[in-house]
Amino acid sequence: MNWEDFRQWGRRAADWAADYHAGLRDRPVRAQVAPGAVLSALPDAPPEGAEAMQAIFDDFEQTIMPGMTHWQHPRFFAYFPANAAPVSVLAEYFVSAIAAQCMLWQTSPAATELETRVCDWMRQAIGLPDGFTGVIQDSASSATLCAVLTMRERALNWQGNKAGLSGQPRLRVYCSAEVHTSVDRAIWIAGLGEENLVRIPTHGPTRAMDADALRAAIAADRAAGHLPAGIIACTGGTSAGASDDIAAVMDVAEAEGLYTHVDAAWAGSAMICPEFRSLWAGVERADSVVMNPHKWLGAQFDCTTHFLRNPDDLVRTLAIQPEYLKTHGADGIVNYSEWSVPLGRRFRALKLWFLIRAHGLDGLREMIRNHVTWAQGLAARLEATEGFEVVTQPMLSLFTFRHLATADLDAHNQDLLNRINDDGRIYLTQTRIDGALVIRFQAGAFTATAEDVAMAYDVITELAAAGT
């Protein structure tokens, strides 16, 4: 394909995308294909000769699309949302056409300076104080890895990268059992070892880390000759929205001199609404905070904003600066590749800029407030329906429930969930709460309406009745 052909196909792609979204409600949310079906429909060997774009497009529609789960479906209530507002899709289209590597200021000054500006817009939008500096990472997992590496280097007085970890005391990091698995991965990759990720018990309906237990664990580690390095708190855990008491965690961290990272990958988007900020009260004292505009807010994946109270520690941990990457001279120049693990960087700021401008913070707030209200409404309706139990109350737009049965509750709810997802009108996933299998519900799709959430009630109660 050359750029002249691209003109025509680009227009067709725009039409296709608009049609696809217009027809989403008629598609089953979760792909209904059997394992291996797509693979076996694809030729074993690559073509030797060029194929016509029309043939490629036909196979895309006939072979690939039926095997896709529709994350932009208005009745996608599974996992967390991965919203892609149309305007952010458009921005990505421009970004992929320009295809710049935005690793250094000079490799695209506008990309760097726009990133600085939109990160500061996001900082203001979520109510972090002046003084926090942002960077866009590819994922919350990467941001958390950066934070753990920073904890490690700080605790080792910047000797870890140089001398390695052998011969060092055991570095210890603290969190609850509610944090995302990306924390475990970060600990593995940073060379700390899973055994040194200390799980602090939680308490209360928010499933928050017990600050006294945290203090005691740190004291015990110091007594044993270990080296406490940092604390990872969460606002809006993945399973059921667990949220630590950040102020209480910060009291401990400040007394112990520990680096703190707050993972609000999902719930952070809700912080554009001031009424939800009490959920992470104390966050302004944290060293590092991550939230994903690519989840609830509507910036096409990938777009993670990572805020640092002082970026020097992170840059000191990650900057390499070989001769060929140096941009000599100019003061005030930021090279964001020194703030993240990969060198190459996509131009991710553009979609966030487009998104915030096209919707305005008020438009985005309205979406989030609706989702929270609708999720609360659905939880209340299920709770009032005989045979249903709300297991964890709505945390923003996320709650868990189960259908009661006389026999094996876990098997009964797994079966109900399977039948719901095979039905296709809605899509839900499961988690475990205190060992029991429960069904998760989150409202978060960009185009969801109150009617879509009402349909969730109908589907859940209809299929629960059919199975008993």
Ligand X SMILES: *Cc1c(COP(=O)(O)O)cnc(C)c1O
Residues that bind ligand X (CB under 6 A): 80, 139-141, 180, 182, 234, 236-238, 263, 265-266, 292, 304
Rank residues 128 and 459 by Cβ distance to ligand X and give the closer one: 128
Rank residues 118 and 265 by Cβ distance to ligand X and give the closer one: 265
Residue of 220, 229, 292 lying closest to 261 (CA atoms): 229
User: By three-state DSSP, how is residue 203 classified?
Assistant: strand
User: What number of other Cβ atoms are within 10 A of residue 211's Cβ?
Assistant: 18
CB of 57 to ligand X, least distance (A): 30
CB of 265 to ligand X, least distance (A): 3
Tokens coding 446: 């960009």
Rank residues 304 and 337 by Cβ distance to ligand X and give the closer one: 304
Cα–Cα–Cα angle for 176, 178, 184, rounded to 5 degrees: 75
Rank residues 21 and 306 by Cβ distance to ligand X and give the closer one: 306
Query: In what order do the strands lie in the sheet containing 304-308?
Result: 133-137, 304-308, 288-291, 259-263, 227-234, 171-176, 197-200
DSSP state of 201: P
CB of 56 to ligand X, least distance (A): 29
Rank residues 108 and 269 by Cβ distance to ligand X and give the closer one: 269
What is the C-alpha separation between 38 and 15, in angstroms, rounded?
25
| Contact assessment for residue 378 and residue 122, using Cβ atoms and an 8 Å cutoff | no
CB of 456 to ligand X, least distance (A): 21
CB of 292 to ligand X, least distance (A): 5
CB of 301 to ligand X, least distance (A): 8
Rank residues 123 and 180 by Cβ distance to ligand X and give the closer one: 180
| Contact assessment for residue 6 and residue 14, using Cβ atoms and an 8 Å cutoff | no
What is the C-alpha separation between 154 and 328, in angstroms, rounded?
28
